[in-house]
């Protein structure tokens, strides 16, 4: 049997008749309860800029290696998504403040913003703490990611 695409849009062009029956044909209304953890002063500025763009269901918190694990745990508790934000300013030891975040229970996305060669340390520190790690040079990507993830 030949697989023939049945839809014309670029994303759906690869869908066959068999695959189309699994499509969700209604809008997804529910917003996620999201916690954004800024891991350095630059990330805190990015979070501050994004705060005016996203819904009221987003909690912003600045974290460093001396952060109170109870405070971080309380912020993450009840979240549907955690977004770790860092810039090239991040001290890799800042991830020590995340030791009590249960990454297996809450999906965790990382965003590291900065020039490619300057963000290497932050990328390495976050690599095993996230399900998806995004490297960017564009500061506004945090707002876009939060919007795309329905935050």
**pLDDT attached to residue 135:** 93
**Neighbour tally for 124: CB within 10 Å:** 11
pLDDT digits (tens, 9 = 90+) for 60-101: 888 876 677 777 777 788 888 889 999 988 888 777 767 666
Task: Say how many CA atoms lie within 13 Å of 111 toward its Cβ.
Answer: 24
Domains located in the chain, CATH noted: 27-148 (3.40.50.360)
> Among 10-14, 25-29, 55-59, which is the least confidently predicted range?
10-14
What is the model's pTM? 0.75
Tokens of 96: 């020590």
For the chain, give the percent of residues with pLDDT over 90: 21
Of the candidates 98, 70, 94, the one whose C-alpha atom is nearest the C-alpha of residue 82 is 98
């Amino acid at each position: 049997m030949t697989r023939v695409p049945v839809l014309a849009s670029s994303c759906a062009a690869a869908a066959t008749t068999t695959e189309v029956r699994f499509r969700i044909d209604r809008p997804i209304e529910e917003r996620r309860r999201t916690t954004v953890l800024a891991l350095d002063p630059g990330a805190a500025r990015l979070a501050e800029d994004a705060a005016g763009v996203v819904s009221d269901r987003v909690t912003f918190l600045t974290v460093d290696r001396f952060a109170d694990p109870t405070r971080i745990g309380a912020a993450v508790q009840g979240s549907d998504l955690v977004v770790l934000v860092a810039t090239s300013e991040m001290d890799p030891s800042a991830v020590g403040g995340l030791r009590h975040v249960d990454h297996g229970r809450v999906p965790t996305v990382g965003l590291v913003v900065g020039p490619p060669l300057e963000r290497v340390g932050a990328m390495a520190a976050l690599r095993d703490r996230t399900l998806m790690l995004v490297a960017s040079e564009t500061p506004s990507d945090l707002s876009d990611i939060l919007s795309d993830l329905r935050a």
